[in-house]
Amino acid sequence: LPPEKRVGFAVVGLGRLSLEEILPAFGEAKMARPVALVSGSPDKAKLVAAQYGIAAEAIYGYGDWDRLKANPAVQAVYVVTPNALHREHVVAAAGAGKHVLCEKPMATSPDEARAMIEACAQAKVKLMIAYRCQYEPNNREVTKIARSGSLGRLRLIQAFNGQTSGLPEQWRLRKALAGGGALPDIGLYCLNGVRALTGEEPVSVTAQVHSTPDSPLFREVEESVVFTLTFPSGVIAQCGTSYGVHESRRLDVHTEGGALTLENAFAYRGQRLMIAHREGTRVQKDEPVIPPKNQFALELDHMAECILKDRRPRTPGEEGLQDQILMAAIYEAARSRAPVTV
Ligand code: NDP
């Protein structure tokens, strides 16, 4: 679309994700463009605005929602602030009559997520949660193959998303701002990914949480979580996440007649899909070539298209709420050391 027909977004919160991924991704988007910034750091915002051709008048502070409301160029707001602030910023954006794209995790509790859905419904604006992997072509191919039945029945899924966490003073390690540790930040990709892959909702959850004793990093939030999800069809997903390991983000799907492996499944880039299946007595191994695409651009375009064509996003607020409910069940299962029925 030509620039003037594209959906105008205000980006809220100019942190690492906004500066390093989202704002650059607009350059690869076809239906979205950045037209405004919301930031608590005016000097940074001025620099960023100049870099992206955003008008100086379209820079707002976190208390300027009335002024933002009056800017007709802003059709959608992309909330990219710490997790515990998502509710406040989504509700404010809805109050300003703007459609909302909100970063994951949606919130820090199911009740917050419900309030956000309600606010957007009341304001008759769309709410999408930024589950970028659901827009990423390799992840989508895995889902397509697994569900097609071409490799036989789906049985077991293993999903792992781990990395080392950075400095101890960051908000991600403060429970009040993050809501939790590795689980809501990166383990969520495993949870949301296996739900998207199976197309089912888990009925039962088991979990274990562990943090290195005496680590200054994990006084408030957890370091590692392993959890299993049992689905109505009998599929079992075994998931793991950690802030204390060498980076690894891998998805393995085991079916009756084959196996799919997606390396770097939950990374920004670098996905590599491998498929093994039996052909007679031989094992056939394939590595399909899937042209890489910027998943942030695909996600922005999906939201823009939903606004332009008045469609419901593939990952609406309800999708975020369901994950909040399941994450609460995972923590409860770990606490009680017993399976939790959902
Ligand atoms: P950063 O800490 O890098 O940036 C957060 C920004 O939010 C800050 O730079 C600041 O921007 C603003 N902010 C407003 N209030 C506060 C506050 N009290 N404390 C700290 N920052 C504040 O975080 P990220 O960019 O890494 O993460 C932001 C959101 O994006 C999180 O919800 C995270 O889960 C999600 N995320 C998603 C990823 C994905 O792949 N989809 C990857 C990384 C993060 P300003 O100075 O402009 O006000």
Ligand 1 within 6 A of CB of 14: yes
Dihedral, 148, 150, 156, 162 alpha carbons, nearest 10:
-70
Q: Which residue has a Cα nearest atom 6 of ligand 1?
A: 15
pLDDT in tens, 76-100: 999 999 999 999 999 999 999 999 9
- Residue 33 CA, chain-centre distance (Å), reads 20
Testing ligand 1's pocket by substitution, the residue of 39, 41, 47, 80 carrying the most ligand atoms inside 8 A of its CB is 80
Q: Are strands 224-230 and 32-38 parallel, antiparallel or unpaired?
A: unpaired
| Ligand 1 atom, smallest distance to 86 CA | 32
Q: What average pLDDT is seen over the chain?
A: 97
pLDDT in tens, 146-160: 999 999 999 999 999
DSSP structure class, residue 19:
I
Residues serving a catalytic function are: 104, 189
Answer for the pair 303, 102: CB distance below 8 angstroms, yes or no: no
Give the Cα-Cα-Cα angle 130, 131, 137 (nearest 5 degrees).
Answer: 120
| Ligand 1 atom, smallest distance to 14 CA | 47
Ligand 1 within 6 A of CB of 165: no
- CA distances 291 to 146, 269, 294, Å, are 20, 11, 10
**How far is ligand 1, taken at its centre, from the CA of residue 153, in Å?**
40
What CA–CA distance (Å, rounded) separates 101 from 87?
A: 12
pLDDT in tens, 303-313: 999 999 999 99
Single pTM value for the model: 0.98
How large is the ipTM? 0.99
Answer yes or no: is pLDDT of 118 > 90. yes
